[in-house]
Amino acid sequence: AQTVTQSQPEMSVQEAETVTLSCTYDTSESDYYLFWYKQPPSRQMILVIRQEAYKQQNATENRFSVNFQKAAKSFSLKISDSQLGDAAMYFCAYRSGGFNKFYFGSGTKLNVKP
């Protein structure tokens, strides 16, 4: 089975600074997707960014970007110009190309200090 590992249970960043959340995964598949989801306290989980494994270019969504290292099976999330509203749990997730089943990491709690 695929596994997703987030080695940082909690991180803190100063407002307006940049922070990088780490994620590694283990798979023998060649067709898959990777995602970062954000779960604010007591609120629903929302998609931050997604990356198709076949794309070499790293995905970017405004202040959020990823560093996708396919050979190393690494998928880190960089948040630039951190804002108070970025404080949340962040989950890295893996989805096989052929199955709509997601594997989630254990999450990283991000604190943003004013």
Partner 1 sequence: KAGVTQTPRYLIKTRGQQVTLSCSPISGHRSVSWYQQTPGQGLQFLFEYFSETQRNKGNFPGRFSGRQFSNSRSEMNVSTLELGDSALYLCASSWQGSGELFFGEGSRLTVL
Q: Footprint of partner 1 on this chain (CB under 8 A)? A: 33, 35, 37, 43-47, 50, 91, 95, 99-107
> 72 vs 99, which CB is nearer to partner 1?
99
Nearer to partner 1, 34 or 82 (CB): 34
Q: Which residue, 3 or 18, is less far from partner 1 as judged by CB?
A: 3
Q: Which is nearer to partner 1, 13 or 53 (CB)?
A: 53
Q: Residue 104 Cβ, how far from partner 1 at the closest point, in Å?
A: 4
Under a CB-based contact definition with an 8 Å cutoff, are residues 31 and 53 in contact?
yes
Residue 44 CA to chain centroid, in angstroms?
16
At its nearest, how many Å lie between partner 1 and the CB of residue 17? 27
Query: In the complex, what is the shortest distance from the CB of residue 71 to partner 1, in angstroms, rounded to a whole number?
Result: 22
Extract the runs of DSSP E, i.e. beta strands, from the chain.
3-5, 10-14, 19-21, 24-26, 32-39, 46-52, 60-61, 64-69, 74-79, 88-96, 102-104, 108-113
Compute the least distance from the CB of residue 88 to partner 1, in Å.
Answer: 13
CA distances to 7, 55, 58, 98, 108 from 62, in Å: 25, 19, 13, 29, 21
